[in-house]
Amino acid sequence: MASYVLPVLGDGALVELDADLGRAAVTALAVTAVDPGGVPRAKFVTREKIAETHRSGLGAAPSWHVFCIDNGIAFTPELGVVGDQRLRPDLRALRVLGGGLAWAPAEFSEQSGSPSPLCTRGRLRETVDELASLGVTATVGCEVEFVLTAADGAALTERPWSCYGLTAGLDREDFLLRLLDDCRTAGLDVVQCHAEYGDGQFEISFSPSDPVAAADMAVLARIVIGRAARRAGLAASFSPVPFAGGSGNGAHIHVSLDHDGTPMLSGGPGPHGLTVEGESAIGGIVDGLPGVVGVLAGSVLSGQRLLPGHWSGAFACWGLENREAAVRLCAVEAGSANIEVKCVDPSANPYLATAVVLGLIVDGLRRRTPLPAEVTTHPADAQHRTLPTDQTAALDALRDSAQAKHILGADLLSALLAVRRHEVSAFEGQDPSAVADRLRFAWSA
């Protein structure tokens, strides 16, 4: 656990990077980390300070790991007011965003330089390594959903929304075209973009990549979308439930898998061409999901989204192209078969959500978890069990999940539980629409 140290770039590479950033007219770098409650946090440094920041990091109190969405701090016996950590940007992942700003994801280390067990990006990297130790490589793609609102957070109500509508897209053409251009500047490779089901809702999906880069992209996309919305005099909500009773935002994760270069989700003897290992991978996810919903969809609002009929993957089952199943097997063409985990929402930390999905795959492969029966209809018709939607129940299941303990480690698990339990007590008994209003931009950038 926590054996990974972010490498330091050499002096030559840092000088070269500084020259590149000078040519790109970069004034400042946004150094970000996402906390266990899924909120992106940042420090900004000037271009002149980037190399030094990369080498020695910026100070960050341990309480960064227990900041809460209402600005409370869920102190634990281990995470109090004493101590300090270092936050170091991974400059290999730096992107220039335009307008003088660059961005890089950061990792936490102890002051001694040793890695912090509370670093969520480091945690994902370790899970990727664990998968690699089994000979397995995962490729991950993110779907990003968001709801555009007026700058003050009010719903946009110019005319009735047409989901997947050309009108909905063209009404926001200026915003969309500039956003796609910004994505290009930031090196985000957009697969497609469309008007989603909910009023004012859009989705952008990005090309698959290695898991850490994919989680980075989910963070970067939020920043790029947030900036584009501001420029257009709008705002973008990444809440699981931007407006109570309306469509939720998902943050679906697609994973394809290969073992020493051979696809695991196609070309095998199992259903739809799954290999024996591919079956165990899906078996591991389906089996472990009820225990990790507290990570994937664990916020106080998540349960309002994770409901039957919302295509949010509310049921703990799998099925080929089944949009109500938490695990949808997408098998368009043999070579590109992938698993879509649909229950994930944007209140999840993308590094932890990806680590959990991959960690359950590791677990399935190790235990050779059998593939459960496929659900080929609406899971409600088969009276299939749903995932927990009550936040307390989801957190209790998370506390008791052996898989979660292994994947996250004790420190991160305890920080995450503290933050989410704080949400339970802060918002308990409140009107759902008041909570949705209060938290509409809690996960925005």
Q: Which residues bind Mg ion (CB under 5 A)?
A: 203
Q: Which is nearer to ligand GLU, 79 or 142 (CB)?
A: 142
Which does residue 311 bind out of ligand GLU, Mg ion, none, counting CB within 5 to 8 angstroms by kind? ligand GLU
Which does residue 279 bind out of ligand GLU, Mg ion, none, counting CB within 5 to 8 angstroms by kind? none
Shortest Cβ 218–ligand GLU spacing (Å)? 14
Paired tokens of 36: 């266990």
Pairing of strands 315-320, 325-330: parallel
Which does residue 216 bind out of Mg ion, ligand GLU, none, counting CB within 5 to 8 angstroms by kind? none
Q: Which is nearer to Mg ion, 182 or 203 (CB)?
A: 203
HEC secondary structure over 182-220: HHHHCCCCEEEEEECCCCCEEEEEECCECHHHHHHHHHH
Contact set with ligand GLU (CB under 6 A)? 145, 196-197, 247-250, 305, 310-312, 323, 342
Shortest Cβ 300–ligand GLU spacing (Å)? 16
Strand partners, 330: 338
Q: Which is nearer to ligand GLU, 50 or 140 (CB)?
A: 140
The residue type of 317 is C
Which does residue 312 bind out of Mg ion, ligand GLU, none, counting CB within 5 to 8 angstroms by kind? ligand GLU
Write out the E strands in 7-84.
Answer: 28-34, 40-46, 58-60
The rounded distance, in Å, linking the Cα atoms of 185 and 199 is 28
Write out the E strands in 221-324.
Answer: 234-237, 253-259, 262-263, 315-320
Q: Which DSSP helix (H) or strand (E) runs through 410? A: helix 410-427
Q: Which DSSP helix (H) or strand (E) runs through 128? A: helix 120-133
Shortest Cβ 247–Mg ion spacing (Å)? 9
Which does residue 248 bind out of ligand GLU, Mg ion, none, counting CB within 5 to 8 angstroms by kind? ligand GLU
Q: Which DSSP helix (H) or strand (E) runs through 342? A: none
Query: Residue 139 — φ and ψ, nearest 5°?
Result: -115, 130
Q: Which is nearer to ligand GLU, 130 or 196 (CB)?
A: 196
Q: Which is nearer to Mg ion, 288 or 319 (CB)?
A: 319
Q: Which residue has the tokens 């649909």?
A: 342
Shortest Cβ 66–Mg ion spacing (Å)? 31
Q: Which is nearer to ligand GLU, 287 or 324 (CB)?
A: 324
Shortest Cβ 250–Mg ion spacing (Å)? 6
Which does residue 125 bind out of ligand GLU, Mg ion, none, counting CB within 5 to 8 angstroms by kind? none
Shortest Cβ 338–Mg ion spacing (Å)? 15
